[in-house]
């Protein structure tokens, strides 16, 4: 019962986040795509977290140096202050991109992800209080500000460990076609006559699922596993201009070249070369 209530809470929060980032409508969702990192060809969140962690670590080093040698290193709190400000900028970016990524998770990745997010949000609050205390001192010296920073760094470190679990154990935001190597040479996948016109068709080429779209004699083929989280593209929607929409989180890919048109996916789909001979269709990974 408690579990069901928690799941309902997660559903509601994910819906709320998707509304905030404009991903509830049927059209494109540029804000969400921006925060996912589609434009970068790589998830944005892990890039920004480096800034957050770097700022937090540098601030802690400067604070320790100042506390150890308060007279000789009286300038160190200023350095810590600048590092905290840079770290907070990174934390804000991580906050926005991280919660956006979380809004597409479910199961264990969703429960681990929310803990990761709550801890980092708590650290962001502590660092924000810390920077206010530092800025209110003419020399930027605040023992409480430094202590809050140390606590924040401890929280961030544990949250980063959970972030590692999310990626390396649970596979969040990894390319779900990374281990699909596909055929080195053309392999037959069926008769041309069995492939209907203007609709998504799933075939299997050398053990790898591929989705086809046929227009007369022309066939476009890309991997059927969505790079974002593994959704079956052949069960998605075929949009105008041969764009396929994933049924799970709505990523859109161009059938002609596999490129991502709209996130949350950040990685293009593998493309297959198509050969038609004697009425038989054969595919080879490009």
Q: For residue 127, what are its two tokens?
A: 């660092």
Owner of token pair 């227009």:
215
From the CB of 264, what's the least distance to ligand FES, in Å? Answer: 6
Side-chain half-sphere of 95: how many Cα atoms within 13 Å?
Answer: 14
Under rule CB under 6 A, residue 18 binds ligand FES: no
- Residue 198 phi/psi, 5-degree rounding, is 55, 35
Under rule CB under 6 A, residue 246 binds ligand FES: yes
From the CB of 46, what's the least distance to ligand FES, in Å? Answer: 18
Under rule CB under 6 A, residue 228 binds ligand FES: yes
From the CB of 148, what's the least distance to ligand FES, in Å? Answer: 38
Q: Kindly give, in sequence order, each residue whose CB lies less than 8 Å from that of residue 240, ignoring residues fewer than 6 positions away.
A: none
Q: Kindly give, in sequence order, each residue whose CB lies less than 8 Å from that of residue 137, ignoring residues fewer than 6 positions away.
A: 77
Under rule CB under 6 A, residue 226 binds ligand FES: yes
Under rule CB under 6 A, residue 260 binds ligand FES: no
Size of the site for ligand FES (CB under 6 A): 13
Site string for ligand FES, 76-115 (x = CB under 6 A): ----------------------------x-----------
Give the whole-angstrom CA distance, residue 231 versus residue 78.
49
Nearest residue (CB) to ligand FES, 77 versus 250: 250
Under rule CB under 6 A, residue 258 binds ligand FES: no
Under rule CB under 6 A, residue 265 binds ligand FES: yes
Under rule CB under 6 A, residue 249 binds ligand FES: yes
- Are β-strands 218-223 and 271-277 bridged in parallel, bridged antiparallel, or unpaired? antiparallel
Nearest residue (CB) to ligand FES, 187 versus 246: 246
Q: For residue 71, what are its two tokens?
A: 């007279």
Looking at 9-17, 29-37, 193-201, 242-250, which segment touches ligand FES (CB under 6 A)?
A: 242-250
**Given 264, 267, 268, 271, the residue binding ligand FES (CB under 6 A):** 264
Under rule CB under 6 A, residue 244 binds ligand FES: no
- Residue 218 phi/psi, 5-degree rounding, is -95, 135
Looking at 55-63, 111-119, 188-196, 224-232, which segment touches ligand FES (CB under 6 A)?
A: 224-232
Cβ 185 vs Cβ 205: under 8 Å: no
Under rule CB under 6 A, residue 229 binds ligand FES: yes
Nearest residue (CB) to ligand FES, 54 versus 171: 171
Under rule CB under 6 A, residue 223 binds ligand FES: no
| Site of interaction with ligand FES (CB under 6 A) | 104, 226, 228-231, 246, 248-251, 264-265
């Amino acid at each position: 019962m408690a579990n069901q209530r928690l799941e309902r809470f997660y559903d509601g929060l994910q819906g709320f986040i998707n509304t905030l980032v404009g991903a509830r409508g049927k059209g494109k969702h540029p804000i969400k795509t921006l925060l996912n990192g589609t434009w970068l060809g790589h998830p944005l969140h892990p890039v920004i977290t480096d800034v957050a962690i770097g700022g937090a670590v540098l601030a802690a080093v400067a604070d320790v140096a100042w506390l150890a040698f308060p007279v000789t290193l009286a300038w160190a709190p200023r350095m810590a202050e600048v590092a905290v400000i840079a770290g907070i900028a990174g934390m804000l970016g991580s906050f926005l991109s991280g919660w956006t990524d979380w809004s597409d998770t479910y199961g264990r990745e969703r429960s681990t992800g929310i803990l990761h997010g709550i801890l980092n949000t708590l650290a962001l609050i502590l660092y924000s209080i810390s920077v206010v205390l530092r800025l209110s001192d003419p020399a930027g010296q605040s023992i409480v500000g430094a202590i809050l920073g140390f606590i924040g760094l401890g929280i961030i470190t544990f949250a980063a460990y959970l972030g590692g679990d999310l990626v390396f154990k649970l596979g969040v935001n990894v390319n779900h076609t990374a281990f699909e190597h596909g055929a080195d040479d053309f392999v037959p996948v069926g008769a041309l006559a069995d492939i209907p016109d203007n609709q998504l068709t799933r075939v299997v080429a050398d053990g790898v699922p591929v989705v086809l779209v046929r227009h007369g004699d022309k066939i476009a083929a890309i991997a059927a596993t969505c790079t974002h989280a593994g959704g079956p593209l052949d069960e998605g929607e075929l949009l105008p201009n041969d764009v396929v929409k994933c049924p799970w989180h709505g990523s859109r890919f161009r059938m002609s070249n596999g490129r991502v048109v709209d996130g949350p996916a950040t990685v293009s789909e593998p493309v297959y070369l198509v050969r038609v001979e004697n009425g038989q269709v054969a595919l080879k990974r490009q």
